[in-house]
Amino acid sequence: MIPAVINNEVENIICLGGKLNKLPYSESDIEFLESIVNLSLISIQNSMLFKEFLEKQVMENELKIAREIQVALLPGSIPDIKGYDFAGMNMPAKRVGGDYFDIIKLTDCKTAVVIADVSGKGTPASLLMATIQAAVHSYLKMYDDESFDLASVTEKINELVYENTMPEKFITFFWGILDCKENKMKYINAGHNPPLLFRKDGVYKLDKGGFMIGILDKGIDYEVGEVSLDSGDTMVFYTDGVTEAQDINEEEFGEDRLEKLCSGNVQLDSKELMKLIADSVIEFSTGTSQYDDITLIVGKKG
């Protein structure tokens, strides 16, 4: 028997029959056979590793393409909104993620603000993220000041997602229509982290709405909320990758810390405040890997 040794571990044992000339195996015969066996096994192992490397390269290229497609689904630039300053960002935990945000100009004075978080992470979440993005854009292309009903369209998006996803998948979803002429925003919060509205007299949560998207087929009545916006008001929209980020002691960043951070820095413009929040979350979770996608929108009334 000849042991096949790779990295100082016995991988296999080769059993040999007798020689045709009936003579016993010499020490040199054994050494030669051991060399041949181990070289053969190393060659096979190297071939398998090279195959795995090629498969990994293909997967990496596919993920790179998927990320490029996903980035294309997010807004490339933030539209100008008269009297308002908006900024947005997305930082996935993996190469692709399940967070989605959008700021879509509908008319000269109406703008849609959207943020959503698909359950799970990675490629499955990114595919569902593409579904919600397509649904939002499809319905908003038909936007009409007189006939567009935020609640009924939200119900239709819920039905669409429910019919095209597995039962365990769902989406927390928030969207609103900002009227820069009336300085009001009508919105629906479908199970999402309530965006924060910082005003001179305190902090308010935009929590009117209903159940998250994709859990139930029909029968969900979404309540439409409305807020008036005054000069200096600041809105912070975020996904749970912000508040659920953990430090090395597994303590969460949390809503209280986010509120305190924003309350003390509302004088910053939208990009500065957004960057401060993102940097604070990253600093807080130093020494840990990013667990969830981080997405932020900050909007300020001039």
Domain layout of the chain by residue ranges: 2-64, 77-301
CA distances to 251, 278, 284 from 230, rounded to whole Å, are 35, 26, 32
pLDDT mean over 248-265: 96
Residue 180 neighbours by CB distance under 10 Å: 19
Residue 85 neighbours by CB distance under 10 Å: 17
Lowest mean pLDDT among 9-13, 32-36, 200-204: 9-13
pLDDT for position 61: 58
Is residue 166 within 8 A of residue 188, CB to CB? The reply is no
Which residue type, as a one-letter code, is found at position 17? G
Residues in the chain: 302
pLDDT band at 7 (very low <50, low <70, confident <90, very high): low
Distance CA 156, CA 105 (A): 21
* Element containing residue 273 per DSSP (H, E): helix 270-284
Q: What are phi and psi of 142, to 5 degrees?
A: -95, 15
pLDDT band at 29 (very low <50, low <70, confident <90, very high): confident
Q: Give yes or no for residue 214 having a pLDDT over 60.
A: yes
CA distances to 48, 92, 173, 190, 299 from 207, rounded to whole Å, are 54, 25, 11, 8, 17
Most confident of 57-61, 139-143, 213-217, 233-237: 233-237
Distance CA 277, CA 208 (A): 24
Query: β-pairing, 184-190 with 209-210?
Result: parallel
Distance CA 174, CA 153 (A): 13
Q: Give yes or no for residue 173 having a pLDDT over 90.
A: yes
Distance CA 88, CA 101 (A): 8
pLDDT band at 247 (very low <50, low <70, confident <90, very high): very high
Q: Which two tokens stand for residue 96?
A: 């692709």
Q: Which of 107, 145, 115 shows the shortest CA–CA distance to 132?
A: 115
Task: Give the gyration radius of the chain's Cα atoms.
Answer: 28
Contacts of 229 (CB under 8 A, 6+ apart): 183, 184, 185, 235, 301
pLDDT band at 70 (very low <50, low <70, confident <90, very high): low
Residue 176, beta-bridge partner list: 113, 187
Distance CA 150, CA 209 (A): 10
pLDDT for position 3: 67
pLDDT tens-digit readout, 113-142: 999 998 876 677 777 888 899 999 999 998
CATH superfamily of domain region 77-301: PPM-type phosphatase domain (3.60.40.10)
214: DSSP letter: T
Q: Is 120 helix (H, G, I), strand (E, B) or coil?
A: coil
Distance CA 225, CA 174 (A): 11
Q: Which bin fits 268, alpha (ψ -120 to 50), beta or left (φ > 0)?
A: beta
pLDDT band at 217 (very low <50, low <70, confident <90, very high): confident
Residue 275 neighbours by CB distance under 10 Å: 15
pLDDT tens-digit readout, 94-104: 766 788 999 99
pLDDT band at 73 (very low <50, low <70, confident <90, very high): confident
Summary mean pLDDT of the chain = 87
**pTM of the predicted protein model:** 0.78
pLDDT for position 8: 65
pLDDT band at 226 (very low <50, low <70, confident <90, very high): very high
Distance CA 95, CA 73 (A): 15
262: DSSP letter: H
pLDDT tens-digit readout, 174-209: 999 999 999 999 999 999 999 999 999 999 999 999
Percent of the chain, pLDDT > 70?
Answer: 84
Q: What angle do CA 302, 107, 126 make, to 5 degrees?
A: 90
Q: Give yes or no for residue 266 having a pLDDT over 90.
A: yes
